[in-house]
Chains A and B, each alone.
Chain A
Amino acid sequence: MRANEELTLDGNAVGGLLDEVFGADLTAAVGTCPDCGRRDALATLRAYTYAPGVVLRCPGCDGVQLVIVRTPRGLRHQLRSVIERR
């Protein structure tokens, strides 16, 4: 485990935020990691919540899959994985 791993949450913790960004609770939606190809629910990603943003990383290869930042002009996000909504 890396330093501070104890504090790490997972995608479940950001269900509300995902809903704000994508208009749906995507925790059960499946994402494919662009780096290692791992396919699993977004709830299984590691969530690093550094205010004012969140970084979701792949538990397989540690690659960044989604970054969400709250700015004074609203939420900004960068998505790297491919998400299949169900």
Chain B
Amino acid sequence: MNTLQWQIATITKITPETAKVKSFTLSLPGWIKHRAGQHYDLRLTAPDGYRAQRSYSIASAPERTGEIDLTIERVEDGEVSTFLHQVVVPGDRVEVRGPIGGYFVWDATTSGGPVLLVAGGSGVVPMMSMLRHRAAVGAKVPVRLLYSSRTYDDVIYREELASLATGGVEIFHTLTRSQPAGWTGYARRIDDTMLAEVSRPFGASALTFICGPTPLVESAATSLERASLRADRIKTERFGPTGT
């Protein structure tokens, strides 16, 4: 089995995360240990041979063997995400290939840190693999995650993130559309001031990962360079128009 070969994964579990987001557990006959941050390509084939292919980041830790989790947001009129959300049930099969990617990856023992993670919407998925990986290997690397969601109810992995925020992991939320009563986090789109505040304790050489909708990734990367973070330490991954 190599990462290029398509294989038939069985969906063994579907877990709702928010109203628009579900996690899918895929059991893989040709499982290969991934690096946190990598993705799989998933393709659907219609009876007439028509194919649609998309990329989905791995949400689970590399330390989990034989299966992976993908966390997928339902995009309005989205061909693949809507099918996965509305049609697929446990026991169904989908074709995937992976793990893919050698750039937007983080290894707790060799990549170093401190690590600054900036995510919007489903852009938090590869970051979750990194945080779960860090916890699984008991690493002490300091990590700060700045995570932008539309509303409180749109925050993916809300409870697990809260439980991971210990022993050197700090999580900062910003809610861009509405905030519950008593909200103490940020309440606006990610901007220069917010990024400067969150990144300051790590200094200019923080290893930075930015992921999410393309406009958010572009503006966060530009802001961080303005805040004099080293450009060669900033890694970006664009999901397209999806999300916040």
Residues of A within 8 A of B (CB): 1, 5-13, 15-16, 19-20, 25-28, 41-44
Contact = CB atoms under 8 A, between A and B. Distances in A.
A15 B102 contact: yes
B100 interface: yes
Contacts of B97: 16
B29 interface: no
B129 to A, nearest CB: 14
A20 B6 CA distance: 12
Given A1-B218, A20-B4, A43 B104 contact: yes
Interface in B211-225: 213-215, 218
A40 B102 CA distance: 13
Contact of A16 (B98, B104, B213): B98
A19 B236 CA distance: 20
A9 B104 CA distance: 14
Contacts of B98: 16
Q: Sorted from nearest, which 5 A-B pairs have the closest CB atoms?
A: A43-B103, A28-B102, A15-B100, A28-B103, A27-B103
A16 B237 CA distance: 15
B55 A13 contact: yes
A56 B103 CA distance: 16
A12 B214 CA distance: 13
Interface string B81-111: 0000000000000000110111110000000
Contacts of B18: none
Nearest to B6: A16
A6 B214 contact: yes
Contacts of B3: 16, 19, 25
Contacts of A20: 4
Residue in A5, A7, A43 with the greatest tally of chain B CB atoms within 10 Å = A43
B103 A41 contact: yes
26 contacts: A1-B215, A5-B214, A6-B213, A6-B215, A6-B240, A8-B238, A9-B238, A10-B236, A10-B237, A11-B103, A12-B103, A12-B238, A15-B39, A15-B101, A16-B3, A16-B97, A25-B100, A25-B101, A25-B102, A27-B104, A28-B102, A28-B103, A41-B103, A43-B103, A43-B104, A43-B237
